[in-house]
Structure 1
Amino acid sequence: MKVALLSDCYLPRLGGIEVQVHDLAGHLRDRGHHVEVFTATPGEHGERHGATSVVDGVTVHHHALRLPADLPVNPLAPLRMRHELRPYDVAHVHMGVVSPFAVDAAFLTTRLGLPTAMTWHCMLDRTTPVVRGLGVVRRWAAGGMAMSAVSDVAAQPLREVVGDAGPVAVLPNGIDVAAWSPAPAPRADGVVRIVTAMRLARRKRPLPFVRLLRRMRDLLDPAVRVEVDILGEGPDRGQVERYLAEHGMTGWVHLPGRVPRAELPARYAAADVYVSPGELESFGIAALEARTVGLPVVGRQGSGIGEFVTDGVNGYLTAGDDDLAAALARLAADPALRARMRRHNLEHPPAQGWSHVVEAAEREYARAIAGARR
């Protein structure tokens, strides 16, 4: 099958959608499909205006303009892609919080009559009434476009939008279980290490996170030594640094910056707990990676993390920041609890292994082809 993956963002830009679309392309190729990627992100060497590059064996069409901060916007891209997409059997559009390129691509594939699957990587949340009112997504579904979301919690508002125009499936993010199962790093320093990976931007809540870390520290016996690594970069870094300095937290809360993905398994293996403080996590791929390494995961109720974390079994799902601080303090104070949860995670690999996810993607492509014929 010839598959076109369409996404606003792609490597070398780093983020959840970028990495997932890259990995999906590789695993589809390994299953014998011909896969190419179309994106509004420039290539590693500045490829733009439809120029191509090859990333890990997959051809990538970079329909990027020269814009400030390399914004992934190009209203002219459909003019060229109209001819490029004709030979494909199916298109797979990946939607984020704001996805002008993906939206343009969906309009284009509809006009071309190209069977299309659309996966939502975001939580519609407060925008659900607006999206429902516009009616575009419902018309796409009624026209045979196969709709899916990365978790059931992300699928629920999409189902409200689509209504009876068609089903909304769950196509989760995937993970290479073997690659994320390194041996735990031996340690004897007695320090409890908490780790998180996030973009330091308001939507990911880095400032509320460091505030709740203060509450966690107040709940703990002073004899319990804790260190926290916040992996990532973003526009809110300055605010976070100022807060840490003002409250005397720089000695135990660290901001190493962006860490190469290849280093993350070892980073997680050397930690004791992973925390995901975001309220609108549609899935939480970094949390799934940490859970696969074995770490107990602490996150929020009503987020996609509930797809692979069972409260009290291999982590905690909390109702708010106070509960989250209390759960972290509980884990930091109880090494036996941490060991039990780690053992459970290692003995029960997650269901989101790539072999299952690629099969689910193929089912979505078959559904899109059937819908287009209908």
Structure 2
Amino acid sequence: MRVVHVSDCFAPRTGGIETQVGDLARHQAAAGHEVHVLTATLGEGGERGGVVDVEDGVHVHRLGARLPFDLPVNPLAGPRLLRDAYTDLRPDVVHVHAGVLSPFAFDGARLAMAAGLPTAVTWHCMLDGVAAPAAHLVARTRWSRPRAALSAVSSAAAERVRELFAGADVAVVPNGIDADRWAPAPASARAEDDGPLRLVATMRLAPRKRAVPLVEVVAAAARRLPPGALHLTVAGDGPLRDALSARVRALGLDDVVELPGRLSRDEVRAAYVDADVFLAPARLEAFGIAALEARTAGLVVLAHTGTGIGEFVTDGLDGFLVADDAEMATAVVLLAQDRALLARMRAHNRAVRPAFAWADVLAAADAEYARAAVLAGPGS
């Protein structure tokens, strides 16, 4: 099968959607498919305008333009380049990966459907605050009954897509991980009750991920515990790095919070060896791949209710799903004080592997491609 993925964002940009589209494409190529990625993200050397790289068997078409801040869009030439790519490649299916604002991806979906190509669209975002008002606009356009297989990366995200498309059939194509790669390392020599409760978070330092509120949560918990009871590592980089550092200093947390910057996957796994708890402060988390990796590595996960993390974390078993930041601070205090509870949760998470292996994800994607072919009609 010739699969063409369309995504505004792709490597070398870093983030959840970039990682997942790249991993999905590589696994499909390894399974024997011919896989292409059409993206508005420039290459490492600024490659753009149709340059094609071949990476791990995947053909990456750089269709972006040189713009300020390297924004992954191409409003002038993008539609023409997409249309030409479809004509040249003649894909069996076009798989579009969408966020809240994805002009390149939506052009890709629009042009694929206009060409009669089987089209699958997966949302990698939560549409809170967008779905209801946008639904009135969608109802007045050709998107009211799209000839595309619609999906999202979690049940929570799919609910918002259904709201946007007036109860349309929206499937779930989850994110995936290499479960063996993230399996728990041999138990650390550090005893569960030895030293501070070791907290970790891995995220892009951007407003939506709520890194600044996270350190405020830890500050609130620290005020209720003896000195030295907590240690937090926030791995990641982004536009809020300076603001986060300033907030750490203002809260007097220099001895509590460590900001190592962006870490490679191998470095993240190493950081999890001695960590106890993964904190996921975002309220609009469509899936939470970093949280799934941490959960697979055996960490207890604290996250907000109503996010995609609820797909693989059961409250009170794998971790805690909290209603707000105050409840997250309380959960941190509980785990710092009740090391027996922490040990039971860690033991469970080390012994019980969550779902979302790549075999499951590939099967879900294949089901959407078959549904897309039916929706496209005869001859597709």
Conserved 8 A contact 2:222-2:229: no
1:131 to 134, 149, 155: 134
1:237 to 237, 241, 254: 241
Q: Find the aligned partners of 1:137 and 1:168 in 2 and give their Cα distance.
A: 20
1:74 and 2:60 aligned: no
Conserved 8 A contact 1:132-1:138: no
Q: Which amino acid aligns with 1:145?
A: A
Q: Find the aligned partners of 2:203 and 2:275 in 1 and give their Cα distance.
A: 16
Shift of 1:331: 1.3
Shift of 1:207: 1.4
Shift of 1:263: 1.8
TM-aligned CA distance change 1:12 to 1:43, over 3 Å: same
Q: Mark the runs of 5 or more structure 2 residues left unpaired by the alignment.
A: none
Q: Deviations over 1:21-65 (max 9, x none)?
A: 010001111222111111000112221111011222211000111
Q: Mark the runs of 5 or more structure 1 residues left unpaired by the alignment.
A: none
Match for residue 272 of structure 1?
276
> Among the aligned pairs, what percent are the same residue?
50
Shift of 1:260: 1.2
Conserved 8 A contact 2:188-2:273: no
Shift of 1:140: 4.0
TM-aligned CA distance change 1:141 to 1:27, over 3 Å: farther
2:368 to 339, 364, 369: 364
Q: Which amino acid aligns with 1:197?
A: T
Q: Which amino acid aligns with 1:42?
A: L
> Secondary structure of 1:60's partner?
strand
Q: Find the aligned partners of 1:360 and 1:294 in 2 and give their Cα distance.
A: 26
Match for residue 207 of structure 1?
212
Q: Which amino acid aligns with 1:150?
A: V
Q: Find the aligned partners of 2:212 and 2:3 in 1 and give their Cα distance.
A: 41
Match for residue 13 of structure 1?
13
Match for residue 182 of structure 2?
180
Q: Find the aligned partners of 2:44 and 2:26 in 1 and give their Cα distance.
A: 18
> Secondary structure of 2:14's partner?
coil
Match for residue 220 of structure 1?
225
Shift of 1:284: 0.6
Conserved 8 A contact 1:141-1:147: no
Shift of 1:78: 1.9
Q: Find the aligned partners of 1:271 and 1:326 in 2 and give their Cα distance.
A: 19
1:156 and 2:156 aligned: no
Conserved 8 A contact 1:182-1:266: no
Shift of 1:144: 2.2
Instruction: Count residues in correspondence.
Output: 372
Match for residue 115 of structure 1?
118
Shift of 1:163: 2.1
1:105 and 2:112 aligned: no
> Secondary structure of 1:163's partner?
coil
Q: Cα RMSD between the aligned structures?
A: 1.6
State how 1:3-42 maps to structure 2 within 5 Å. 3-42=3-42
Q: Find the aligned partners of 1:206 and 1:73 in 2 and give their Cα distance.
A: 27
Conserved 8 A contact 2:200-2:232: yes
1:257 to 238, 261, 278: 261
> Secondary structure of 1:259's partner?
coil
1:338 and 2:339 aligned: no
1:246 to 244, 250, 275: 250
> Secondary structure of 2:32's partner?
coil
Q: Find the aligned partners of 2:51 and 2:357 in 1 and give their Cα distance.
A: 33
Match for residue 62 of structure 1?
62
Shift of 1:138: 7.8
